[in-house]
Amino acid sequence: MKTALVTGSSGFIGYFVADALLAAGWWVVGVDSMSDYYDVSLKQSRLDLLEAHEGFTNVKSKVEQPGLLTELFGQYQPEIVIHLAAQAGVRYSLENPMSYFETNLGGTLQLLEAARAHPPKHMLLASSSSAYGANTEMPYQENMKADHQMSLYAATKKSTENIAHSYSHLFGLPITMFRFFTVYGPWGRPDMAPHKFTSRILEGRAIDVYNHGQMRRDFTYVTDLVQAILMLVDAVPDHLTQQGKFVGDSLSPVAPHRVVNIGNADAIPLLDFIKAIEEATGTEAQMNLMPMQPGDVPATWADTSLLQSLTGYVPHTSVRDGVAQFVNWYRDYYSI
């Protein structure tokens, strides 16, 4: 069996990636620390589903633990690596900045050192749309200059892109960095807006809506994101043979390293997203209109032309359909 190593495998996106790989016949080695950044029972529920598969091996550990990933790479010799483990959250980076350096930078460095010792065929590392920072020209294209990140979280994600490029250049490691855009769906994180909005609306409590509702996001349904990631597995970057092959390609001129947006290619007003939750729950939202929060940006919008050129895939789930599926899962999981 082909072996894939997935970090952050009990996380929101990691669970869906691992599950999809298992369904496709891969042996999956999952690494997750089960940190208490949010409700660990939710992570455990995801892990329980993964462990029901014979082809899944769970490793409970922090990715930044020295030598752990090198040992796992040597033991399992993964053909592909999908690196999703990270300290998430823009606002939490104001409260606990050291955790972002330890996990996002330290963990990625440990991963790259492991790959240096035991090179896989392809590594796919998660970045974020927040890497675009203060850019106001939209939709965001991968070749845009991205030097003015607005939060420590965003700065660490952009830094991992740079560090990965250096390793790709020095050691010939094929690396695809994917920048994802406001991912939502069943099993989503409780600290994200869809979860918080749904819980408060169902409980009859007011929701906090920042920038007085004048926000737009490229909401991406989780299974669309995962489908794109799996299709990118075969789109291995090669700077020696692929230069100029794809219009707007972010392929490095000196390394097998590429950055790819994964989004829905649409900037949805936040108030429309809230309306979709109201429709799915059958309950009108009470809103506290608030000023913009530190580190946030008013809009995100992905140009997905490169993703389509590389894979032929276009994310397609509408916000109305995606929110309805999330609310159905929420009611079922929390027995509401």
Phi first, then psi: what are they for 221, rounded to 5°?
A: -70, 140
Whether residue 183 contacts residue 175, with contact meaning beta carbons closer than 8 Å, is answered with no
Amino acid at 67: G
Compute the C-alpha angle 64/69/75, nearest 5°.
165
Q: What is the DSSP string of 185-231?
A: -TT--TTSHHHHHHHHHHHT--EEEGGGG--EE--EEHHHHHHHHHH
Distance CA 40, CA 31 (A): 15
How far lies 278's CA from each of 28, 157, 207, 222, 327, in Å? 38, 33, 12, 20, 10
Give the alpha-carbon dihedral of 118, 121, 126, 131, to 10 degrees: 100
Q: Are 157 and 128 in contact (CB under 8 A)?
A: yes
100, 132, 153, 167: the active-site residue: 153
Q: Are 178 and 83 in contact (CB under 8 A)?
A: no
Distances (CA, A) of 141 to 19, 108, 237, 261, 284: 30, 24, 18, 8, 36
Residues 6+ apart with CB under 8 A from 145: 135
CA distance 313 to 276: 25
DSSP conformation class of 302 = B
153 is known as an active-site residue:
yes
Residues annotated as catalytic (active site), given as ranges: 153
